[in-house]
A and B are shown apart, each in its own frame.
Chain A
Amino acid sequence: MSAPLTALHRCCQRSALLLVARRPWSSSSASPPPLHTRLLLYLAQRYYDVEMLMKWSSNLKKRGLQKKNAYYGYTQKFYGGDIAAAYFILSLKGRIRFLGQPAWLHADQSGKFNWDFLNHKDTPLEEVDLSYTVINYTGLGNLERQGSLRTLSLRGCPEVDDWFLGRLHIFQDSLEELDISHCPRITTGGLAALRNLKGLRRLDMSSLPGISSPGLVAILLEEMLPQCQITAIGYDHSLKQEEEEEKEGQVEAQR
């Protein structure tokens, strides 16, 4: 009677030990930052020069992002909103397709593109692919008047956040397909903003690391957008912790 109990007890103790031992290598926020970060922080706290340099570097990064997402006011004035939007997307290395045109336009590896799109004056955009670009909230202002945009892909955009999704209401009458998969900064609070896109037919929300309970969120989204087909893959829906404990129990039993 007591033998299995003691075995169980030992097993529990071991797993607790394992948990404690594993902690230093886990990537939780409680773990200390790597050595070079700590060194940099120490230097920044000690020397004004280092602090200043770090501030400059972050400001430079910020300014670069701002420049890429600037408002294309001049282009809009001289060529109209559609050309400005196309030019903006092509300079971000995105892909576009004008309404009624079969061909996609895109920039090549070095960021150069064909200027033939200038011929499509006053033709609105129908499909836009901005995957893996640095578009942010401000940059979206360039697409404000694209009332006939049907497809938008924002796959893997590091700067797309909840406020960006909140501003997507500018396409509320036309947008049918939206891909926001692999965007690291999207959370549940932003997905609630998709309520304005009543015409949405297809939504891809795979692999969003900022969502805590993806299964529930996907169901609630389906409820909110009944005509929309929602893709949510890349999530581990299993109960992770219990599984791990089971595994440990099995290993223990094998010993």
Chain B
Amino acid sequence: MMETGRVVLSEDAAPGVGLLVFHSPEVARDYRPGSFVHLRTGDSATVLRRPFSIARVRGEDVVLLYRIIGSGTEWMRARRPGDELDMMGPLGTVFRLRERASRTLLVGGGLGMAPLLGLAEALRHAGYVGEMEALLGIRSQGDVFGPALTEGVDLEWQLATDDGSGGFHGNAAQLLARRLDALAASGEDPSTIAIYSAGPEPMLEAVARICEPRGLDLQVSMEAHMACGVGACRACGIVPWKDESRIHGRVCKEGPVFDASEILWDQVTI
């Protein structure tokens, strides 16, 4: 579970967005859609690791997409081919691949959509998807990520932009609601639809509030600040359960993927 990755590629995928590919046969082998790696981003004096969802795996190469927001991600951006990465992982509870879905909807928010790429590949590979649609909410048309991100993943994103500069004018949850209304009007059985969502918490909550009254099967991938990454410290305990015998789901352990129907969304505190 302590692994070393060797950097294959590190580049800017878009302004402020890093793409890092590293070689690790072990991480690639143990990867399941939704899992994450806990990276040491800096020298041995770095006190906290940083968790990153694995976007996808190609052969023995592992792909990470990240927003460059601070010293840790600046360090990642400065990696060069051949550099070594120290990581724990893959960690976390992963997406359950829903069998026999007539329709699969992937709902992403910005760069948070990363784990949906590998999920789409795994669902296709397993033959579970039925019709697959991918909805992506971004701020504006200019935020569309480079082709490097989705190369080889056969997904056509339906865009929603906050500023209306491209696609649907609104957010991903609103676009989803519109799409679900259309499916309902056409008589599609909601029990055969599988929905997977990844992105910022407010978006996931909005998606959950759309799916819950319709009785739809929704899984969400959450993000949180972490320290240990293995469930010991409770820094990331942000997901309150409906089950009162438990307090919080730990994003690192019971998550990052949660079944949306098990969460008390109005008490999520992040």
A binds B: no
